[in-house]
């Protein structure tokens, strides 16, 4: 034994074995480049090489959206858990438990209020990290609560969507959330409050078929997949090759489904400007009076 085996070698091994955290680098799923995770967070989860907008967890999304990252999350009502007592390979209640511990959110919709560009606003964010952002009874309950809060505060509602659609573990009950959330949107329209939808990658299924397409302003994040059925399903059904960029934000903007495509770094400013335009009437202009109730046609008289 020499000093090399006894002293130098273990020292070198110790140096080589130094723990490297496995989330130090993130691989961009679009261009394949490695990005330092810390840098990626600073860049709002947008790849600095190809501008690909990666998924955004709820907490970050809220912090990026409100002025100075300051907001208050609201307590949300609960809904019956597992109404159908559903089980596939796993119990639905166990899936919910797993999702809660992995995602650090308790359901697929989180609601907060604060200011955007100085305007009080309610913001709802769909958590894709919670069971792919699927919509069940609890989601519907929360969406209506967000709409109620906006009406109560007389402030606009902004929702960031990210979803795989209705939650199949709740069967028809999940589909009932489509009209339910539509009623929530209607509450805002009746109160004359703006409802702005920001569609992020991916927004599909029953979510696209309901509240996500009813915004006064429809905004898409760049290159987000937005549609009802996925492109592969459509291609297999129509047996035709789909056009380039089909169901992506820019394609939908060209075809009139979106009003604008806004990159993440410009989102807060754009939302602030839009809310300002939609909520403040220029001086001297007042809202038009409500339409007079329609006159009932006179009932035909017996003499006629």
Binding positions for Zn(2+) are 28, 31, 47, 50
- Give 43's contacts (C-beta < 8 A, 6+ positions apart): none
Determine contact, residues 224/200, Cβ cutoff 8 Å: yes
Closer residue to Zn ion in complex, CB, 49/90 = 49
Residue 48 or 83 having the CB closest to Zn ion: 48
Closest separation in Å from C-beta 38 to Zn ion: 16
Q: Which is nearer to Zn ion, 29 or 98 (CB)?
A: 29
| Pair 107, 146: CB distance under 8 Å | no
At its nearest, how many Å lie between Zn ion and the CB of residue 46?
Answer: 9
For residue 197, list its beta bridge partners.
Answer: 159, 218
> Which among 113, 123, 74, 128 is positioned nearest to 267, based on CA atoms?
123
Nearer to Zn ion, 51 or 153 (CB): 51
Q: Binding site: residue ranges?
A: 28, 31, 47, 50
Annotate 191-216 with DSSP letters as a single string.
TT--EEEEEEEEE-GGGTTTGGG--S
Q: In the complex with Zn ion, which residue's Cβ is closer, 27 or 78?
A: 27
Nearer to Zn ion, 50 or 70 (CB): 50
Query: Alpha carbon of 270 to those of 67, 74, 102, 156, 265: distances in Å?
Result: 12, 24, 32, 14, 10
Give the whole-angstrom CA distance, residue 101 versus residue 265: 30
Helix, strand, coil percentages, rounded to 5, for the chain: 40, 20, 40
DSSP secondary structure letters along 124-167:
EEE-TTTGGG-B-HHHHHHHHHHHHHHHHHT--EEEEEEE--B-
Smaller CB separation from Zn ion, 51 or 182: 51
| Shortest distance, position 60 Cβ to Zn ion, whole Å | 18
Q: Smallest distance from the beta carbon of 55 to Zn ion, in angstroms?
A: 13
- Taking the CA atoms of residue 49, residue 51, residue 54 and residue 59 in that order, the dihedral angle to the nearest 10 degrees is 110
CB of 73 to Zn ion, least distance (A): 31
Which chain residues interact with Zn ion by CB under 5 A? Answer: 28, 30-31, 47, 49-50, 52
Instruction: Please report how close the Cβ of residue 264 comes to Zn ion at its closest, in angstroms.
Output: 14
CB 135 within 8 A of CB 207: yes
Least distance (Å) between residue 21 CB and Zn ion = 21
3-class SS of residue 93: helix
With tokens 């209506």, the residue in question is 144
């Amino acid at each position: 034994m020499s000093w090399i085996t006894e002293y130098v070698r273990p020292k070198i091994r110790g140096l080589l074995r130094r723990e490297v955290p496995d989330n130090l680098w993130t691989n961009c799923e679009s261009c394949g480049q490695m990005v330092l995770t810390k840098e990626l967070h600073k860049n709002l989860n947008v790849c600095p090489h190809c501008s690909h907008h990666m998924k955004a967890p709820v907490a970050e999304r809220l912090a990026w959206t409100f002025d100075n990252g300051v907001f208050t999350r609201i307590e949300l009502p609960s809904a019956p858990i597992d109404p159908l007592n559903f089980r596939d390979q796993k119990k639905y209640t166990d899936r919910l438990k797993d999702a809660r511990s992995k995602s650090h959110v308790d359901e697929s919709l989180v609601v907060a209020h604060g200011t955007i560009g100085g305007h009080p606003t309610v913001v709802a964010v769909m958590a894709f990290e919670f069971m792919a952002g699927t919509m069940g009874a609890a989601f519907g309950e929360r969406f209506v609560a967000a709409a109620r809060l906006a009406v109560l505060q007389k402030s606009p509602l902004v929702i960031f969507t990210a979803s795989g659609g209705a939650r199949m573990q709740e069967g028809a009950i999940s589909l009932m959330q489509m009209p339910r959330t539509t009623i929530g949107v209607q509450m805002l329209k009746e109160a004359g409050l703006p409802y702005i939808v920001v569609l992020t990658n991916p927004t599909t299924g029953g979510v696209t078929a309901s509240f996500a397409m009813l915004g006064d302003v429809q905004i898409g994040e760049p290159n987000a997949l937005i549609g009802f059925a996925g492109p592969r399903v459509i291609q297999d059904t129509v047996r035709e090759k789909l056009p380039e960029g089909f169901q992506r934000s820019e394609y939908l903007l060209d075809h009139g489904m979106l009003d604008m495509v806004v990159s993440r770094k410009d989102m807060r400013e754009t939302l602030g400007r839009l809310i300002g335009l939609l909520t403040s009437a220029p001086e001297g202009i007042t809202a038009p009076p409500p339409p007079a109730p329609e006159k009932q046609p006179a009932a035909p008289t017996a003499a006629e």
